[in-house]
Chains A and B, each alone.
Chain A
Amino acid sequence: MINVIKEQKGNSLTVKMAGSIEESVNFEQIIGPSPGAGNELQVNTKEVPRINSVGVKAWIKYFQMVSGSGAKLKFIECSTAIVEQINLILNFTCGGEVESIYVPFTCTACKGELVGLFKTVDLKKMELQLPELKCTKCGGKATFDDIPEEYFAFLSR
């Protein structure tokens, strides 16, 4: 099941998705038709923990249509699950811009999971040198927890 919150500001429609994206998700139904040329669609996937292969297929089919209609497509606050797909599938973003992503961290002390939100423009400047975060549970040191060359591969495309 997926929940969607839509917010229209001027010619920009922001869609926040929460839940898993799988075969039951019909993007045409939950988002609607493409906003069309001259308009922007911002897709926020902060709360998407996973997407299965049929969900990926539906995603590409829908966002290719949006992109093809001339609308500007922007992905914001991409969850780690979505970043993984961006890296695995060349055309997952369908020509859209990835503005910001969640970066996974793990606390070296309590092993707790954390995520930090980064703008892709800043990540490019950092050249994979990420800062350490302070664990929100125990105050310990949290370090980036993935393979940098894989997690940030899309930045160098």
Chain B
Amino acid sequence: MSFTLLLISELPEDKVFAAEVAVTAGLSLKIVGSAAEGASVIAQEDGVVLLADVSTEKQYLALESALQSQVGLFSDKVNPNRIHFMTSAELEKVQYLVQSPFFGQFLLRNFTNVKEVGAHYGRIIKQSIQERAFGLQGYLSPQAKVQTIRLKKSSQKQDAVEAVKNFLIAGKFQSRMASAIANAVDELIMNAIYDAPVDDIGKQLFVATSRTTQIELEGKHCVDIQVGFDGQYVGIAAIDLFGSLDKAKLITHISKIYSDEEYRVRTSIAGAGIGLATVFKTGGSLLFVSESRVKTEALVFYKRCDSYREFKDQFRFVSTQFYF
């Protein structure tokens, strides 16, 4: 199937960004200025990847309404895996997107170098339109070397995290950046070991288990870590074989803000529920690819920057690809 990238935006920088995304992903590009025109394209064509400026709730509601009237919200053509929302506001500030029934991906428009981030996101889109979007290699430029580490026991997590940190320092990331990325990897691995495992009826096996409890990671419980660096972006994936990720819960966790609301210690669960929000706040892009009952890949991406300020304020996204 051939795909079209459809941009709904009137902003010049969005047009430059979309053009670069389309070139990198090998898609044809259509640009329209209104939600109604966009919905009309989606109704008429198959294989549309939608990139929409939804900076205000009004813009979002216009899009939802146009899709509902011209395409139908339950149509196969309205596939969250192919819908990309763009705003200039942090995720927690756009709750209308968090609650959207077709939330698929969220892009925080920090276009310091619009062509460069367009190429980066083009690789994300290119991989996302494959039958299954698994595989870190496809998200990085072709020269990236991807290494895989298989964890056999939960106690190996710390060594894996430190190994990633040392790899990054060797790759000329500032130590503060390396620590932030190491923390992200720590969170992904913990989620893969303790949150992903479920029984046959989908009940979490270790949600209340102390994170210090040693778990053998044999068979279905095995956890793989992949690390790749293409000289500009580093990508790290934690892979489990349960495919149990709950999208609504995930997005709620990532968009939660604790800077103006007290964090309450819950003793009924062993995890903290704040890890992924911190990752996104400190410059990381998050991507989750999950096939129900088969596998989940949780990935983070960071650009290597000259300064921490640039690192923390870099273009970033939250992307979800779910297969049921």
Q: Which residues of A approach B to under 8 Å, CB–CB?
A: 22-24, 49-54, 56-57, 60-61, 64, 80-81, 84, 87-92, 104, 106, 111, 113, 145-147, 150, 153
The 8 Å CB contact of B265, one of A22, A51, A60, A90, is: A60
How close is A116's CB to chain B, nearest CB, in angstroms?
Answer: 14
How close is A142's CB to chain B, nearest CB, in angstroms?
Answer: 11
Contact (A106, B274) CB under 8 Å given A64-B265, A90-B263, A113-B175: no
Q: Are A147 and B258 in contact (CB under 8 A)?
A: no
Q: Are B258 and A57 in contact (CB under 8 A)?
A: no
Q: Within the assembled complex, what's the spacing in Å between the Cα atoms of A67 and B274?
A: 22
B147 interface contact, C-beta 8 A: no
Nearest 9 Cβ contacts at the A-B interface: A53-B275, A53-B272, A23-B211, A57-B272, A91-B262, A50-B179, A89-B258, A52-B186, A53-B274
Q: Are B271 and A60 in contact (CB under 8 A)?
A: no
Q: Are B309 and A61 in contact (CB under 8 A)?
A: no
Q: Are B278 and A80 in contact (CB under 8 A)?
A: no
How close is B156's CB to chain A, nearest CB, in angstroms?
Answer: 13
Q: Which residues of A contact B175 (CB under 8 A)?
A: 49, 113
Contact (A90, B312) CB under 8 Å given A23-B212, A53-B271: no
Which residues of chain B in 250-282 are interfacial with respect to chain A, using CB atoms and an 8 Å cutoff? Answer: 258-263, 265, 270-275, 277-278, 281-282
Contact (A52, B258) CB under 8 Å given A22-B158, A88-B281: no
Q: What 12 additional pairs, Cβ within 8 angstroms, besides A53-B272, A111-B306? A: A50-B183, A51-B183, A52-B183, A53-B273, A54-B271, A64-B265, A88-B258, A90-B258, A106-B306, A106-B307, A145-B309, A146-B308
Q: Are B265 and A89 in contact (CB under 8 A)?
A: no
Q: Which residues of B contact A113 (CB under 8 A)?
A: 174-176
The 8 Å CB contact of B186, one of A22, A89, A111, is: A22
Q: Are A60 and B263 in contact (CB under 8 A)?
A: yes
Interface pairs (11), CB distance under 8 Å: A24-B212, A50-B179, A50-B182, A52-B187, A57-B274, A90-B260, A90-B263, A106-B307, A113-B175, A147-B312, A153-B259
Q: Which residues of A contact B275 (CB under 8 A)?
A: 52-53
B313 interface contact, C-beta 8 A: yes
Q: Which residues of A contact B176 (CB under 8 A)?
A: 80, 104, 113
Q: Which residues of A contact B271 (CB under 8 A)?
A: 53-54
How close is A37's CB to chain B, nearest CB, in angstroms?
Answer: 22
How close is A31's CB to chain B, nearest CB, in angstroms?
Answer: 17
Q: Are B263 and A91 in contact (CB under 8 A)?
A: yes
The 8 Å CB contact of A53, one of B187, B261, B313, is: B187
Contact (A84, B174) CB under 8 Å given A52-B186, A54-B211, A57-B272: no
Chain A residue with Cβ nearest B261: A90
How close is A40's CB to chain B, nearest CB, in angstroms?
Answer: 24
Q: Which residues of B contact A90 (CB under 8 A)?
A: 258-263
Q: Within the assembled complex, what's the spacing in Å between the Cα atoms of A99 and B221?
A: 45
Q: Which residues of A contact B281 (CB under 8 A)?
A: 88
B190 interface contact, C-beta 8 A: yes
Chain A residue with Cβ nearest B155: A24
The 8 Å CB contact of B309, one of A51, A88, A147, is: A147
Q: Within the assembled complex, what's the spacing in Å between the Cα atoms of A80 and B210?
A: 28
Q: Are B308 and A54 in contact (CB under 8 A)?
A: no
Chain A residue with Cβ nearest B174: A113
How close is A95's CB to chain B, nearest CB, in angstroms?
Answer: 11
Q: Within the assembled complex, what's the spacing in Å between the Cα atoms of A117 and B43?
A: 60
How close is B53's CB to chain A, nearest CB, in angstroms?
Answer: 24
Chain A residue with Cβ nearest B181: A50
Q: Are B259 and A52 in contact (CB under 8 A)?
A: no
Q: Are B179 and A81 in contact (CB under 8 A)?
A: yes
